Amino acid sequence: MKSSVLTCSNLHKHFGKHSVLQGIDFELAPGEITVLLGANGTGKSTLFKLALGLLLPDQGTIEVLGLDPIKQSKNLRQQIGFVPSIPDAYDWMTVKDLFHMLAPQYPTWKKSEADRLCEELKVPIDRRFKQMSRGEGMKAMLVAALAPDPKILLLDEPFGGLDPMAREEVLARIIDEARVGERTLLCSTHDMEVASRIADRVAVLADGKIELQGLVSEILQKEAAQPADLQAVLAGGER
């Protein structure tokens, strides 16, 4: 078996008295597309922040591409593409400005790739973020995440708030890009349909723990057998 790209072991994180992650054990195999399912507030974004070295774990360990996200953050971040749930670049920036800022930070940044993706996704490169629609902004962020040719792509609920057309565009591009080489992809969502369309594996996060994980087919079978259970998990309610 290939060594995992992301490994969480007994991972804990709390904010004040609120415990968000309560001992997560989780692995990502290289080249796989994993969808992290969970209701809002279950800790999906927290897990991404821990993977990016933006937060310190309270207990347990997390390793990405064999690197410590805190101690080897620079090296690690140069190999990760991240798409946030909302476009969080500065309002005054154009896409060109964003690329101007990002390019020197990634040794593997490919301007030609960025230009190609912008053209294909119809990203307005001279428009400021504050003048863009949510969909255009998300596509720009996706291009920015893919331009350095990352080994692992993290997507934190990238489809929320997108109109159906933009959603389809983004989804299609993600599916295409995920199939490039050995790229590993972890995408969080609470949308089962997205999971069914892109995922190799699915992990369900609830109450700060991984409740279910396995091949997408297994999870979907389980949903078919006990649909109320999984829907409840995804809705964040009682099972």
Partner 1 sequence: MILRVYLWKEWQVFRPTLIALSLLAVLVCPAILLMPGDWVPGDFVGKVTVCAMLAISVTIGAELLPYERTGKRMEFLGRLPAGEGMAFGAKLLFLLLSLLGFTVFCYLLAQVSALFIKPGFVSPVDDVHLVIVGAGIIACLWAFAISSWISRATLVLPILAVFLVFGIQPLLGGGVFKIWKGIGLWYLLFYLFIITGGAILLAWTSYLHRLGKSKGLKTKNVMWAGVCMITPLGLAGWQLENRLTPQPYSSDFKIRAAYAGPDHRHAFLSTKTGTAPYRSVIVDLETGTWRVEGKPDQSFSPPGLYDGYDFLAGQIGEHEFLEMFDPGGGIACYDGKTGEVFDFGTRGELRPRLEDRLRESKRRTSPIRMPDGQRAWIMNRSLETLDEDGEIEHLGWSIFATGRAGRIAGHGIRVFEPRQSLMIDLLRKRVYPLKEKWLNHPQLVMEEGWLVNKSRQWFLYEPDTQQVSEVTALKPGVRVVHLLDDGQLLIHLEGQISLLDLSSGESEPIQSPSGSNGTPIWQVYSRGQGSAPILTPKGDVILHIIFWDRRIDESYLGGIAVFDLQSNSFGALIEGDYRVISFPSDNTLLAVADQKRIERINLDTGEREVLFPRN
Residues forming contacts to partner 1 in the complex (CB under 8 A) are 15, 49, 52-56, 58, 73-74, 77-78, 82, 84, 86, 88-93, 97, 100-102, 104-106
* Least distance from partner 1 to the Cβ atom of residue 105, Å: 4
Closer CB to partner 1, residue 47 or residue 192? 47
SS3 230: helix
Q: What is the amino acid identity at position 1?
A: M
* Least distance from partner 1 to the Cβ atom of residue 180, Å: 21
Helix axis angle for 134-146 and 95-102, nearest 10°, is 20
Closer CB to partner 1, residue 52 or residue 212? 52
The count of other CB atoms within 10 Å of the CB of residue 21 is 29
Closer CB to partner 1, residue 44 or residue 77? 77
* Least distance from partner 1 to the Cβ atom of residue 55, Å: 5
Closer CB to partner 1, residue 88 or residue 238? 88
Whole-number Cα distances in Å, 232 to 20, 105, 122, 193: 18, 42, 38, 16
- Helical residues (DSSP H) of the chain, grouped into ranges: 44-52, 73-77, 95-102, 111-121, 134-146, 164-178, 192-198, 216-225, 227-235
* Least distance from partner 1 to the Cβ atom of residue 77, Å: 4
